[in-house]
Structures are given as C-alpha cells and as structure tokens.
Amino acid sequence: MSLYNKRGVSAQKEEVHQAVARLHQGLFPKAFCKIYPDFQGKDENFVNVMHADGAGTKSVLAYLYWKETGDLSVWKGIAQDAVVMNLDDLLCVGIFDNILFNSTIDRNKHLIPGEVLEAIINGTQDVFNTLATFGIHIHYLGGETADVGDVVRTIAVNGTMASRWPVKKLITNERIQAGDVIVGLAGFGKTNYETEYNSGIGSNGLTSARHDVLSNYYGKAYPESYNPVLDETVAYIGKARLTDTITVEDGSQQVVGKLLLSPTRTFAPLMKVLLSNHFEDIHGLVHCSGGGQTKCMKYLPAPFTIIKDNLFEPPAVFKLIQQSSGSNHREMYEVFNMGTRMEIYCSKEKAPVFIEEADKLGIAARIIGRVEAGEQKLFIQQGDVEIVY
C-alpha cells in the first residue's frame, strides 16, 4: 500500500466515484464539469453549471506557516486556491465570465481567530478584483462561515461556482480525436500577472507533500495539524522545516514553506483569449488536478492512446517531495501534476497559436504529447522514465 493510501487519501478517488455512480452524469458525460439543462429559463440554447471544490489540506500548511512565522499573507493564497480549483475546472468546459461564487469556511474557533477569516475573505475579493482587470467577472455572493470545532481540527476553505452559459460555447471534449496534439500549460515559474515565483504545486497531493517533506517537529508542536489515528511511520516523516531554503529551477533560493504554499495559478487570463478568439480550434480541455497526469483518461470520448513524451521537467518542489518520500515515478505522476497543470487538445497546425498567446502572458507552454487511435492507454516518457497506465 502506498504512503498516500496509508494516510487515508486517494489519488483516483475510487470510493467517491463509486458513491456517485448512480447519479445523473449530465448532458455531456465527457465534459470536465457536470452540465445540466437551463433550469430557470428552460432555454435549450443555455445550460447551467454548478461546481464545488476547495484548497483541501493545503490550509493545514498555511496554519503551520502562520503559527511559525506570523505571516497572515499565506491565507490569501489559500483563498486563491479555493477560487482557482473551481474556476480552472469551469474553464475546461469553456466558461470564463459572469460567474457566481459562494465560499464555505469551516473553522475551529479556538485555533483560528477572526483575523484569519478576514484575510481569507478579503483575499478572495482581491483575487476577483485582479481577474476583473482581464475581463473575467466573478460575483462574490458571500457564503457560509461556520464554527465547527468538533468537526474540523483547524480550518477548511472551500467554494462553489455557478454559471448560466450558451450551449454553443461549451467545450465538451467530444471533439478530441486521433491526430490531435496536446499543448501543456506550465503551473510553475512567474507569469506577468503573478508577483512572485510559483512552485506549481497546485492544490492536490498536499497531504503527502506535508507529511513527506516536513519533520516530526510539526507533529509534536502542532498535534492538531494531523489525524491522530495515523501511524507514526507515515506522519511528518521528512527532514525539512518550513523556513528552510532550497534552490529551484531558475537558480533562486526559495523557502520550503512558500514552495508548498504557492497559490494555485489560474489560466483564466489566457483561456479567456483562447476561448474568445479560437474557440473552434479547441477540441478538449483537461485540468490536471486530482489524478495528476492520469486525469485525462477520464475525459476521452473514445478509447484512445495518449502519449506524453515531452512534458516539462518537473520543477523543484516535486523533486523535493519525491526525494523525501521515496515514491516511485508512477505514483508521483498519478498524484501530482508534475509541473504541467492544464492540457489543450487541438490540431498540430493550431498549437503554435496557443503557445504564442501563452508566451505573451509569461506562461510556459509547449506540445507535450499527442492522441493516437488504439486501446485506451496512457504512456508517459520523461527522460529515462517510462510509465504505462
């Protein structure tokens, strides 16, 4: 059994998928988000989408960093995580504007004071204000903030997004076909709209990242930061402290805590341009979130063979996690995005256009692979590493 499973989490969420198997799959089962008919206007030209996601256990890392350093700014990053994990999923069905957002914050009031709530709520609005400068309008309707110390050990930060969207402007992944190439968008580095280096960690796999990288000092100093039923052999088994530094791929020195807490990058400024000006050229979109580089296999409209043989070199944060955990390559690519966080499926002829638009915003982009006819398989080749799923 992998360390990931021993900690009570699952990269593929098999039990969750089984639990919802009998629910309606929506109008377009291969679309990245569930899509329903227009409930209000009963207009066949429109659909409704509502999506829920959040920062996951990344909020525990923010708690540790805040307690150790007093730096409240990390909570704005958690707010961004909760927003982007919703928004970038919606981008994958073509939605990029006029979106409603409600937040859900569950806290243990004994440990999480009002100043943290203010940092999260104000940070959420700051994210929306920034997105508005790119023509992406998200309306913050408030939400639920609950004191549930008997349920939540520290804090959980989640949100829900909803939209009414034209059917003719949906990306449903049904147009993915043999011969398509895959343009990958990097989640690491520094875009024109980011203020500092982003490690690319996103908001998935943070339970493993936290326990594999950080030392047992944190389990002893902050027992509220993890599940006490975990075996000590899988809880805080690393060597690092949050304030340690490592060298990243651009040669700069970065603090371990900030690497693990890098806010999830949104690709909305780019995708607004692509969806507005090149909609017909986009055959499919996949957000490499839970499931990492294997996520694409759930959204193929037919049995295809996916070959990814030109992925980005994994940035420093993933090398740190793998060195600390001893995880094999197969598990790493199944749990983490490994640096490539969104995939655009298109013809080979159109790929340069998407790459050029990404470059204008400081987003690294390139053709990372292709779609071939054949049985449903995923091949990943990274240097000497070859993996088949």
The predicted structure's pLDDT at residue 185: 98
Q: State the pLDDT at residue 134.
A: 98
pLDDT at 232: 86
Joined together, the tokens standing for residue 381 give 């080749």
Of 69, 225, 57, whose CA–CA distance to 157 is shortest?
Answer: 57
Distance, CA of 125 to CA of 335 (rounded, Å): 30
CATH class of 3-195+261-388: alpha beta
Q: Where are the domains of the chain?
A: 3-195+261-388
Give the separation between CA 37 and CA 43, rounded to whole angstroms.
8
Angle at alpha carbon of residue 16, lines to 259 and 294, rounded to 5° = 55
Q: What is the pTM of this model?
A: 0.94
Residues 369, 183: Cα–Cα separation, whole Å: 7
Say what the pLDDT of residue 1 is.
52
Give the pLDDT of the chain (389 residues) as one tens digit per residue: 566 566 566 555 566 556 666 767 789 999 999 999 998 778 999 999 999 999 999 999 999 999 999 999 999 999 999 999 999 999 999 999 999 999 999 999 999 999 999 999 999 999 999 999 999 999 999 999 999 999 999 999 999 999 999 999 999 999 999 999 999 999 999 999 999 999 999 999 999 999 999 999 999 999 999 998 998 889 999 999 999 999 999 999 999 999 999 999 999 999 999 999 999 999 999 999 999 999 999 999 999 999 999 999 999 999 999 999 999 999 999 999 999 999 999 999 999 999 999 999 999 999 999 999 999 999 999 999 999 99
β-pairing, 253-255 vs 36-37, is unpaired
Determine the pLDDT at residue 42.
85
